[in-house]
Amino acid sequence: MNKKIIKTENAPSPIGPYNQAVESHGIIYASGQIAIDPQTGEMVGNKDVKAQTKQVMANIKAILNKAGLTFNNVLKSSIFLKDLNDFDSVNEVYGNYFVAETAPARECIEVVRLPKDALVEISIVAVR
């Protein structure tokens, strides 16, 4: 199997038995990111979904950078929200990282609970 682990100190260490990202055959699968500051290991944003989304996107950017990629390489994203009423606020932040005409495919799902009681979690799939 062609499998490469992608790991960076600029994104949070995994909080379970998984890696930040795995690459196989030029496709990068990044694990879901929550608003953990990689320097402190603490959640940021308290109950501010915009602040949490900014940290999540910073974590994803760090993983992409480690792989030598940018947000332009993202094919698909999955957004998990504790409250779907935060959809517009998350979109406002998330939209700053993509050009609308070439933005990735995605879904957005409301969930009962996220790790560390995060308000938002985002995972991505990117390609070289």
- Name the phi and psi angles at 74, rounded to 5: -75, 125
CA–CA separation, 74 and 54 (whole Å): 17
**Of 47, 56, 54, residue with least CA distance to 117:** 47
Alpha helices in the chain (DSSP H): 49-66, 87-94
Which candidate in 22, 51, 58, 108 is catalytic?
A: 108
Annotation marks residue 108 as catalytic: yes
Tokens of residue 65, six digits: 């950078």
> Are the beta carbons of 34 and 118 closer than 8 angstroms?
yes
Positions annotated as catalytic residues are 108
